C-alpha cells in the first residue's frame, strides 16, 4: 500500500513525463472494464440514461467524455 501511495504522490507532483502518464493510463484502461456511457449501455442491454443514473457503475469524466466502470459502485467519493 505504501508503494501505491508513493506512485500516486509522484504522479501528482509531476515526476512523470506525459508519455509515461499516457502509458499508465492505457495500462489502467486495459485492466478495467471502462467504456463510454453509450457503449456500456449497449454491452449491458440498458439505456444510456439507465447507466447514467445507476449507482451500480462508477462514472468518471475525462475531458469532455463521461465513462462508466463496470464492477465498481458509484459511491460519490472524490476519486
**35 HSE (CA, 13 A, CB side):** 13
Would you place residue 76 in the very low, low, confident or very high pLDDT band (cuts 50, 70, 90)?
Answer: low
DSSP letter string, 23-49: HHHHHHHHHS-EEEHHHHHHHHT--HH
pLDDT tens column, 4-49: 999 999 999 999 999 999 999 999 989 999 999 999 999 999 999 9
Amino acid at each position: 500500500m505504501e508503494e501505491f501511495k508513493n506512485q500516486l504522490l509522484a504522479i501528482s507532483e509531476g515526476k512523470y513525463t506525459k508519455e509515461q502518464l499516457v502509458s499508465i493510463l492505457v495500462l489502467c484502461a486495459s485492466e478495467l472494464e471502462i467504456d463510454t456511457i453509450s457503449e456500456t449501455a449497449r454491452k449491458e442491454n440498458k439505456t444510456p440514461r439507465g447507466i447514467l443514473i445507476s449507482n451500480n457503475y462508477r462514472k468518471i469524466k475525462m475531458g469532455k467524455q463521461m465513462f462508466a466502470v463496470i464492477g465498481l459502485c458509484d459511491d460519490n467519493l472524490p476519486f
